[in-house]
Structure 1
Amino acid sequence: MKLISLTDLSAADIRSIWTLAGKPAARLSGNVAWSFEGNGIRTRSTFLQAFRALNLEYIELPNLLKTSERACDIAGYLDPLYDFYVIRESNHARLAEFAIASRRPVINAMSSDGHPCEVLTDAYYIDSVLMPIERARICLWGPTTNVFRSWHELAAVLKLQLVHVCDSRFHRDLPHVVFTDKPDSTADVVITDGWSKEIDAADWSLTEQHLAAMGNPKLLPTPPFIIGRELSFDPCGYDGFTGYEQKKLLVPVQIAVLLHMANCRQDTRS
C-alpha cells in the first residue's frame, strides 16, 4: 500500500487508521528510509517520535529523489534494504513515480500536491474530539494549497461536503466541495493554510469578523501560520482556537499509518 495522496486510501482504510490512532502503539520490526526536504519541524519531530514508538530503525537519505537516476532503479536497489519509505519531496510527480516503482510502503510526508498525514490528523481531531466528521460543517479559507488539495481528496473518499472560500480563479468543479468567494454560511470549524507570496494577503486574510459571521466556529490554522497573511489576528486570543496541543495528534496518526501499512503488507504476503 502507498500513501501518496488520500485517494490511495478507501474510507475503510481511513477508519482503520483512526481506530489504530486511538489505541496503544504496537511494536514493529524493520527499518525506514527517511528523506526529508526542507524544515518541517513539526512533521519531522513527530515522525521521528513515531519511528521510536514503533521500535523502527531509520536511516536518513537526504535528497533521495533529487537525482537524475531513474526512480525504478532507485527503488530496485533500495527495496531489499528497507521496509518503509517516508519521504518529503516537493516534486510530487517524482515521488509518485518512485512509489509506483517500489515494492515497499511509501508515505508522502508532504509534497507540492498534498499533505495527507497532516490532513488525516486534523480530520481525526474533528471526528474524535469535536463531532462525527460526516456531520461537521468544515470551511477551508483561502487559496488552494497542497493541504487543501488533500482536504478535497479526503472529502471525495469519505463523501464529505466542504465549503471552500477563496478567489474565483481557484474554484473548481468538485462534487464534494462548494466553492464560494464569501462566507455565506455557518461553520463548525474553519481551516486555514499559508499561501504563496504572489497572493494578496489583504484580500484573503481571515478576520475575527469573518469568524463571527460564521457563528464563531473552531479555528484550526495549519502551521506555520503568519499573522498578517492568512490570519489578520493572533489566534491565541480567539476562544475557538484549537490550540498548539491539537498537533500532538500527529504522532498517533503517523504511528497508525505505519501500522496500517504494515498490516496491509502482511495481508498481501499471506
Structure 2
Amino acid sequence: MTGPDVSSARWFRRPRPGGDPSLRLLCLPHAGGTASLYRAWTGPLPDWIEPVLVCPPGREERVDERGPDDVPALVAALADAVRPLLDRPWAVFGHSMGALVAHELALRLVSEGARPPEHVFVSAREAPQFHRPGAVHLLDDDGLAAELLRLGGTHPELLAMDEVRRLILPAVRDDYRLVETYAPPGPTALPCPVTALVGTGDTEVSEDEARGWSRWTDAEFRLLAFTGGHFYFSDDPHDVVRSVTGLLAGSRADGAAVAITERR
C-alpha cells in the first residue's frame, strides 16, 4: 500500500514518521481528549514501534469539523482513514472512550478482511457487556466541567477560563453523547490477544468489569492493574509503555503492573 493521503492524514499525528518500524501502534484518546494524551509515549517507545496518535473531529486542528452522529459512523470514518497504514503489523491502544472505539475499529476491520491487529489494548473501560448508558451529555456546561474535574483528566485552571471551556466542552459533550447512546455489538471474539488495563483507584471501572474483556478474544487475555485513578498514566506513562512494549514484543509484562493472565 502507499502512504496515507491528505484526507486520511488529518486523523493522525505521527511524531516519528520516518524510519522503517516493524509495527504501528494506534493510540485513541478519551472523551474530549486529544493526541496530546500520548505525546509523552514517543520517547519511551522503542524505534521498532511507531506511535500513531489519533485526532478525532472537533478538537485541535479539527475543531471546526462536525462530529459523527454515532459510534458506528465514527468507526467507519476512522477505518477508512487508517487502511493505508495497515501495510505492516499494527496494534491499537484506547483509553476510556478510546477503548470502546479501538475495539469497534478492530472488529470492523477484521470483518472487512483487513489485516487483523497484533494486539488490542483497552484501558479504563468496562467490557461491552457491562456498558452503562448515561446522561452526562445533557448537563449544562458547569455540570459537564464538574464531571471532568471529578475524573481528574483536566487541569482545574483550564476549566476556569471561559475561552477554554468554549473550545473544549463541545467536543466533550459530543463524545459523551456517543458513549452514552452507544449500543454494544453482539458477542464477536477477536482473533488477537486483548489486554485490559485499569487503575486500582478508578471509581469508573472495576477490575471485574475490566476482566470481562476476556469474553471478546479467541486468543490470550491479560488484565493489568496499575496504581492510580481513571487517568492512571497521565503523569508518568513509562510503566504502561514498558508493559505494552513487552507484550508487543511477545514477552511478559514486567513488575510495573499486577498481571493476571487468562486464556480462553
Q: TM-score, normalised on structure 1?
A: 0.34
Higher relative contact order (CA 8 A, sep 6+): 1
Larger Rg: 1
Question: How does the TM-score come out when normalised to structure 2?
Answer: 0.35
